[in-house]
Amino acid sequence: MVGYSGRLKCLILILALFFSGYSVAEDANVSWAQLNAAQQAVLKPLASEWDTLRPWQREKMLDIARDYSNMSPNKQELVQKRLSRWSRMTPYERENARKKYQEFQALSPEKKEELRKKWLGYQKYSESQRLKLRSESPDSYTDADLE
């Protein structure tokens, strides 16, 4: 016969599995038609390719839609503007961007401003020059590692 502590452990395990499973399964396989109006409005740049995205990619995009409502109008505009470009980036580029963003967040406001100016300076380089710089920088991991 299962004792008091045994029943308690079972209940906790079941609840933990239920809630963790629910939170993942809830978003993973939602088609474009199943998104609500607010989600569709935010993710509109991705409408044509939504149904081709993998479940974990959809989940990431739905996270963006969720956080979008907590942002100021200026930030929301930036998100809308950059979402298409973001969706077209490879998994490697996205993962690299997340890593660099974390590092950027840790910088002081002065350093952030300095980096922002440097990015503008980098934009003045020609595409061929930038391609040369990219080709000289080896990948630490490939897209296949992230699939």
Binding site for other proteins (CB under 8 A): 4, 7-8, 11-12, 15-16, 19, 60-61, 63-68, 70-71, 75-76, 78-79, 82-83, 85-86, 89, 93-94, 96-102, 104-105, 112, 115-116, 118-119, 122, 125, 130-134, 136-137, 139
Q: Which residues of 42-67 are buried (b: 16+ CB within 10 A; e: fewer)?
A: bbebbeeebeeeeeebbbbbbebbee
Q: Which is nearer to other proteins, 51 or 99 (CB)?
A: 99
Min CB(27)–other proteins separation in Å: 13
User: Can you tell me which residue has the tokens 């939504």?
Assistant: 50
Min CB(129)–other proteins separation in Å: 8
**Based on the number of CB atoms within 10 Å of its own CB, is 91 exposed (0-12), middle (13-18) or buried (19 or more)?**
middle
Min CB(145)–other proteins separation in Å: 15
